[in-house]
Amino acid sequence: MKIDMRIKIAGITFDNPVWTASGTFGYGQEFEGLVDLNKVGAIVAKTVTLNARDGNPAPRVVETPSGMLNSIGLENKGIDYFKKTGLSFMKKFRTKAIASIAGSTEEEFIKCAEIMSKDETPDAIEVNLSCPNVHHSAGKYKLFAQDPELIERLVGEIKKVSKVPVIVKLTPNVTDITETAKAAEEGGADAVSLVNTYLGMAVDAETMKPLLGNVVGGLSGPAIKPIALRAVREVYKSISIPIIGIGGIMSGLDVAEFMLCGARAVQVGTANFVDPSGIENIIKEFEEYLERKNIKNAEDIIGKLKV
């Protein structure tokens, strides 16, 4: 049986629903020779900001049970460097190229979206409103993605200047993620991606010190999959724009689980660190799952959880 793995989001057809998550795949260059980059559904680049950032003090990563904490702090060489090097590299492949942008002010986000829309453009942008390692100073919330009013307003502004579809990446560090997802939809987002990492920390009782230089960081990996699945399902019931599911995906069955809960595509993150060539296998396993289940089109399982 020939399986149609293609999925559509915001008018773009992706070869398959398995993408790489921002911050876990560089701009793809690091994986050349390890992964056939043409086989990935999309590459979501590491987040860029208007100006270069050095990131947080070391240690920046630490392992936890079935997961890891990171506090990189959006280290990057700035948006211009990305457009010249990373984006032009990503555009060489048939795989869709998605840029990820962030800022410490609303103006910086809008400026980044404008720059992305000039000259060579990515196929879409993911707006990283939710990096837990960077504090957005203004307002009563630490993260933009915790403030529904701000999300709606900022997404609206970004939509005005962006020539490409806008995906809004949401944080799970909220009381009710459906509220922030609705705000993104109201603002005009083409899709939402969730979840970003959960805030957490690790402590060394012997030295009585935190294990991360930044004290707290974002938890990712298989440890968060159950809570991410629940978030995707709740959001799926609340909004009508596409959802890209993220959280501890390590296998083809994990992809199926997220799609059954309502994700139209997924992003593989921490798994890229464990098995840098593994994403191709995840895609293959998902295809085999569909074949075994007699499902001809990947799109046919979206939200088909039997409850």
Partner 1 sequence: MEKRREKRTVRGIITSNKKIAENLFLMTIKEKWLVTKSKAGQFVNVKVAENSTDPLLRIPLGIHQIKKEGISLLYKVVGRGTKILSSKQAKGSIDVLGPLGTPFDISNTDKNTMVIVISGGHGLAPLFALSEELRRKKHHVEFFMGARTGEHLVRDKELKKIGVIVHKVTDDGSCGFKGCVTDAVEKVLAAQGKKYAKKQIFACGPLPMIKAVAAIAAREKIPAQVTRDEYMACGIGACRGCAVRTKEGIKLACTDGPVFDAAILEW
- Among the listed residues 131, 223, 249, 259, the single catalytic one is 131
DSSP H or E run through 227: helix 225-238
**133 Cβ partners below 8 Å, 6+ apart?**
56, 70, 71, 72, 73, 74, 214, 217, 218
Phi, psi (degrees; rounded to nearest 5) at 144? -55, -40
Q: Is 128 in the site for partner 1 (CB under 8 A)?
A: no
| Out of 5, 7, 14, 46, the residue judged to bind partner 1 by CB under 8 A | 46
Q: Tokens 């957005």 identify what position?
A: 136
| Out of 99, 133, 272, 285, the residue judged to bind partner 1 by CB under 8 A | 272
Range list of β-strands (E), 67-171 = 67-70, 96-101, 124-128, 166-169
| Out of 103, 187, 210, 221, the residue judged to bind partner 1 by CB under 8 A | 221
Of the pair 63, 149, the CB lying nearest partner 1 is at 63
**19 Cβ partners below 8 Å, 6+ apart?**
40, 41, 42, 43, 44, 98, 244, 265, 266, 267, 268
Residues 185-214 binding partner 1 (CB under 8 A) are none
- How is residue 158 written in tokens? 């970004």
Q: Is 83 in the site for partner 1 (CB under 8 A)?
A: no
Coil, helix or strand at residue 117: helix
Q: Is 130 in the site for partner 1 (CB under 8 A)?
A: no
Pick from 233, 136, 235, 225: which is nearest to 183 by CA? Answer: 235
- How is residue 10 written in tokens? 């915001």
- Sign of the CA dihedral 128, 143, 103, 239? positive
Q: Is 283 in the site for partner 1 (CB under 8 A)?
A: no
Q: Is 58 in the site for partner 1 (CB under 8 A)?
A: yes
CB of 29 to partner 1, least distance (A): 8
| Out of 3, 10, 39, 55, the residue judged to bind partner 1 by CB under 8 A | 55
- Region of 163-171, 185-193, 217-225, 228-236 interacting with partner 1 (CB under 8 A): 217-225
Q: Is 274 in the site for partner 1 (CB under 8 A)?
A: yes
Q: Is 245 in the site for partner 1 (CB under 8 A)?
A: no
- Region of 28-36, 111-119, 130-138, 227-235 interacting with partner 1 (CB under 8 A): 28-36
Residue type for position 296 = K
Q: Active site includes 112? A: no
Of the pair 277, 297, the CB lying nearest partner 1 is at 277
Q: Is 61 in the site for partner 1 (CB under 8 A)?
A: yes
Range list of β-strands (E), the chain = 7-9, 12-14, 18-20, 42-44, 61-64, 67-70, 96-101, 124-128, 166-169, 191-194, 198-200, 203-204, 209-210, 217-220, 243-246, 265-268
Q: Is 80 in the site for partner 1 (CB under 8 A)?
A: no
CB of 301 to partner 1, least distance (A): 24
Catalytic residue numbers, as ranges: 131
Q: Which spans of this chain sit near partner 1 (rule: CB under 8 A)? A: 23-26, 29-34, 46, 54-55, 58-63, 65-68, 70, 72, 75, 221-223, 250, 270, 272-277
